[in-house]
Structure formats: structure tokens, C-alpha cells
Amino acid sequence: EDQVTQSPEALRLQEGESSSLNCSYTVSGLRGLFWYRQDPGKGPEFLFTLYSAGEEKEKERLKATLTKKESFLHITAPKPEDSATYLCAGGYYETSGSRLTFGEGTQLTVNP
């Protein structure tokens, strides 16, 4: 069974305090690793896709990296508006179609 595990469950940071979120995943059959941001009561917002170990992508204060077993979302000098739940998802392809397997998410709170 495909598994994606995120840690920590919750993270509180002070504004400007950099940190990283972790996502580990089942390697077999993985076709892509996806990061989303979700604000309360809204749909997930796509952030990054990573396909190969060693790949890195950046957007503003966020940088996503991928190794053979896990992915990290690095947040540099966060601001209160970065507060949200960050979801990691493994993309797996089957003959019936493509699916995303989500982790439980990391709830990030950035205090001013």
C-alpha cells in the first residue's frame, strides 16, 4: 500500500525563524512528489512537483527538495501569511489511472 508520512504534525515559528517540513514516501511506483498549501475551508493550492532525486524548486520563501526516500519543504524567513497546512502527496500511476496519496499534513503557524 502506498504511504506518505509527514512530520511534524504541527509547527509554530516566530516570524523570520527558518525551518523545514519533512515528507517520507513509498518508493515503489512513485511517479512524482507534490506539495500543496491549504488554507482553512479552501481547496489545496498547488506549489511544487518534484520528479527526480536531487531536484529542487523554489517559490518566494519556499524551497522543495527531493531525495530517494523523502522530500523537504524549506521555509526561509517565514511571515505570518505563510501560516497554513502544507500537504505532501505521492503520485502513483496504475492501469486504472493516476492517483495522489496525501500525507496527513503539517499545520504551520507563524507568529508575528
Tell me how far the alpha carbon of residue 15 is from its chain's centroid: 20
Nine cell digits for residue 58: 523554489
- The residues in 34-73 that bind other proteins, with binding defined as CB under 8 A, are 34, 36, 41-46, 49
Least Å distance, CB 30 to other proteins, is: 8
- Cis peptide bond prior to 8, omega within 30° of 0: yes
Decide if residue 24 touches other proteins (CB under 8 A): no
d(Cα 5, Cα 105) in Å, to the nearest integer? 8
18 or 98, CB closer to other proteins?
98
Q: Does 100 bind other proteins (CB under 8 A)?
A: yes
Determine which residue in the list 18, 93, 109, 111 makes contact with other proteins, applying CB under 8 A: 93
Which residues, listed in sequence order, are joined to residue 86 by a DSSP beta bridge? Answer: 37, 106
Alpha-carbon gap, residue 65 to 80, rounded angstroms: 23
> What is d(CA 8, CA 107) in angstroms, rounded to the nearest whole number?
8
Q: How far is the CB of 15 from other proteins (least distance, A)?
A: 24
- Closer to other proteins by Cβ: residue 9 or 60: 9
Interacting residue ranges for other proteins, rule: CB under 8 A:
31-32, 34, 36, 41-46, 49, 87, 91-93, 96-100, 102-105
